[in-house]
Amino acid sequence: MSCSSQHCFRALGRVLFTTLLAVVPGVLEAAPPVRLTDNGTMKFVTAFAGDGSDVLFVELVKPTLFQIMRLKLDDRSVEPLHGNQTDHELDIAVSPDGRYYAFVQCHGTLHGAIEIRDVSQKSVGHVPAGPGFSVYRSLAFAPDNSRLLFTFPENVHRQIFSVSLKGDDRNQLTDTNGINNWPCFSPDGKQIVFASTRDGRYEIYKMQADGTGASRLTNSPTMDLRPQFSPSGLRISFTSNRDGNYEIYVMDSDGSNVRQVTSHPERDDYSVWHPGGKHLLMVSERNGYHDLYLVDAPP
């Protein structure tokens, strides 16, 4: 990034709705999903930066290289976040206030370490690569920047952990069979929503921030994945193939009032909330091509 302060993430977009009205006419009028990229390459793991003026995402930029890219919503320009990289970058998370970001970087091997930086790209913390060939995934910041969530296989089963922003003080929050993945803090920092196969298939669960009191929110015959709290904490978005195809859904934070957001023959996935709470960013597959789209979120 060329800026050396928090404005690197937050400049040019104090009010995203004004920006989008100038760039994408009709986006506020429950129009069809608005396409934000057009190169069609494989993309996943998206995040709004700061107040929503920029979008960060992982893209397959070469046949053997995944890299974090930055999309500027004011002019739709896309550039690598870290310039020309030769190491895989496999995940991305941005703190709610836009001051920090974290990503997984593989240094020429299948071992991935977590790098935590401020917006000037100065290193804040580091979590060394774990043993074996497993990689840290599913990064998420606490609202007060006190902790960073991630998942990692511990004794076969993938569990949820947290560390300080320095990368130390590691706490294990889950200890179950199956896979626990895609944790996300509630805006008040008191709860964590996540997906788990502990009962046989991927469902959405919610637990206290210390890992206690887990309760199941969904009961689908297929898979419910990648939950995300809305900025208000009243809604949760997630991906599900309950209707035969991967689509984006929204439910109330207690698991009730499930609404289908997208309906498309191909896959819609990796939803994240715009900070204003009225829109969702997603990766959508159209005719075999993958691009970023913005869609209205149901009330």
What whole-number distance in Å separates Cα of residue 39 and Cα of residue 190?
Answer: 39
Mean pLDDT of the chain: 89
What whole-number distance in Å separates Cα of residue 61 and Cα of residue 197?
Answer: 32
Q: Band the pLDDT of 179: cuts 50, 70, 90.
A: very high
Q: Which residue has the tokens 């919503």?
A: 73
Plot region of 39 (φ>0 → left; ψ -120 to 50 → alpha; else → beta): alpha
Do 256 and 265 form a contact (C-beta atoms < 8 A)? Answer: no
Do 290 and 36 form a contact (C-beta atoms < 8 A)? Answer: no
What is residue 84's predicted lDDT score, i.e. its pLDDT? 83
| pLDDT tens figures, 114-143 | 999 999 999 999 999 887 667 899 999 999
Judge whether residue 237 has pLDDT over 70.
Answer: yes
Could you give all domains of the chain from N- to C-terminal order, each with its CATH number? 7-296 (2.120.10.30)
Q: Band the pLDDT of 31: cuts 50, 70, 90.
A: low
What is residue 134's predicted lDDT score, i.e. its pLDDT? 76
Q: Could you tell me the two tokens for 112? A: 């991935």
Q: What is the pTM of this model?
A: 0.88
What is residue 293's predicted lDDT score, i.e. its pLDDT? 97
Judge whether residue 149 has pLDDT over 90.
Answer: yes
